[in-house]
Amino acid sequence: MKMRIEIISRANRLVRCSLLFYLLTFLLLSLQAQPKREFRGAWIQAVNGQWVGMSTQQMQQTLRYQLNALQQMGANAIIFQVRPECDALYQSNIEPWSRFLTGQQGKAPNPYWDPLQWMIDECHARGMELHAWINPYRAKTKTTNVLSTTHISQTHPERVFPYDGLLVLNPGLQENRDYICSVVADIVKRYDVDGIHYDDYFYPYPAAGQTINDDAAYRANPNGISDRGDWRRHQVNLFVKQLYETVHDLKPWVKVGVSPFGIYRNKKNDPNGSQTNGLQNYDDLYADILLWVNNGWVDYNVPQIYWEIGNRAADYNELIHWWNRHASKRPLFIGEDIERTAKFNQQDRKMALYAECPNVEGTVLWYAKAAVDNVGGYATQLKQRYWRRQALQPLMPFITKTSPKKPRKVKAIWMSDDEQVLCWTPPRGSGWKREAVKYVVYRFLQGERVDIDNPQRIVAVTDDTFYRLPLGDGSQRYVYVVTALNRIHNESKPVKVKVRI
């Protein structure tokens, strides 16, 4: 009997050890699998009215808290809503101040501040990109009742149409396309944004009993197109192309991104569509996302796949693989609903699907506050596992393949008896393609193969020209490597230096 108990106990220990081994192996693989380049974004929206009634100080405090938390969990990009309804969360001479900032459209914040400029400064100080998020056509949300006298719907009422409580800039009018592009050009010229981002609101989402009033625009300029749906898609295509060219003519490094509704077309309407049964970008919103991707009219694409794995109408598993197969000509990021993912306890399963899809190069979290609140432990998992190590931005060789030259005069210097600093001089080079704006510092054990494609060896991504080395007893030898990055994170050749710590 005693021997039997010992055998069972030994077997149980073996089982526990095996389970522990497989758990540790899984965790190790999950850390090793983290890519060196990945877009890790979060949407910070204004349209929910989260800041109305807050003072300038309270809003800044709230945003600073969110940015700190997002930085700690590994985010490297913020998509900040600055134009919810032909208004502005920044100083504009074209459109009125947003009521989502001050409670009254056209009223400037007091004490005065510029949220867009403030967010750019705060994000860049944390090593994060800032993408300015606009809603192109929406001129009034359902909850807005009073509009400024300077609002486009008041100065040019003939250029908007009502729809289900909204006001919408008519996409069929060239003057509206020019107007939106003038707003975007103003942002790009005056602010150091890293991207311009627009979302899924093109022609309005269908509502029962509602009609899009664009007969006059169609009759005035049918473009030789007999089908109204094709004509509407053509109007949106013209805008998307014009917006892209507007941005890149001014600043080629500013990325243009779109976050469409998660279904392009259902298979019952298109043999190339997804096995889904829901609203469609192409048919219902008149947005031909794949045309924009394939023609290079966007720099990245973030379909909003907000459903759970196994959803009967729109299965996440089906949709992430569909976008991976059909939208690979531009970087593909996934719009991820934190609350729904947490509700169904699917974070790990969804991350496994990312690994199955080689064209998926990042995530944008809907929404920032849910991440900061750590709903379902989502942020903890990011911080401890999936976003544990810093990541550079995905490559965009269609913008430029040029990299800065390597840093100069890389050396370790003792600043005092207890402070050793790795220092370097910026590389020579003029123009945004050659100018170094950040540096990557890697660390390898002496004798280890130097491989800068290994993200586990990154110890810092910084805009400083120095890195404080950890203290030791002088017995350990390392090889430190420094590279330079330009505005879109193209990386220079490495420079190595041996250091004793």
- CA dist., res. 474 & res. 332, Å (int): 46
CATH fold match for the domains 33-386 and 408-500: no
Q: pLDDT tens for residues 378-410?
A: 999 999 999 999 999 999 999 999 999 999 999
Query: 10 Å Cβ neighbour count for 283?
Result: 18
Confidence (pLDDT) at 53: 87
pLDDT at residue 20 above 60? no
- CA dist., res. 391 & res. 394, Å (int): 9
> What are the distances in angstroms from CA 69 to CA 133, 233, 321?
21, 40, 31
pLDDT band of residue 8 (cuts 50, 70, 90) is very low
Positive or negative: CA dihedral 8, 9, 13, 16: positive
pLDDT band of residue 474 (cuts 50, 70, 90) is confident
pLDDT at residue 112 above 80? yes
Q: DSSP E strands: which ranges in 367-447?
A: 408-416, 419-425, 438-445
436 and 420 Cβ atoms separated by less than 8 Å: no
* Mean pLDDT, residues 413-441 taken together: 95
- CA dist., res. 265 & res. 275, Å (int): 9
pLDDT band of residue 148 (cuts 50, 70, 90) is very high
Confidence (pLDDT) at 9: 53
Where in the chain are the domains? 33-386, 408-500
- Residue scoring higher pLDDT (3 or 459): 459
**pTM greater than 0.95:** no
Confidence (pLDDT) at 3: 44
Cross-strand bridge partners of residue 363:
40, 334
Q: Which two tokens stand for residue 193?
A: 């944004």
- Under CATH, which architecture does the 408-500 domain have? Sandwich (2.60)
pLDDT band of residue 418 (cuts 50, 70, 90) is confident
- CA dist., res. 319 & res. 263, Å (int): 7
pLDDT at residue 484 above 50? yes
CATH superfamily entry for domain 33-386: Glycosidases (3.20.20.80)
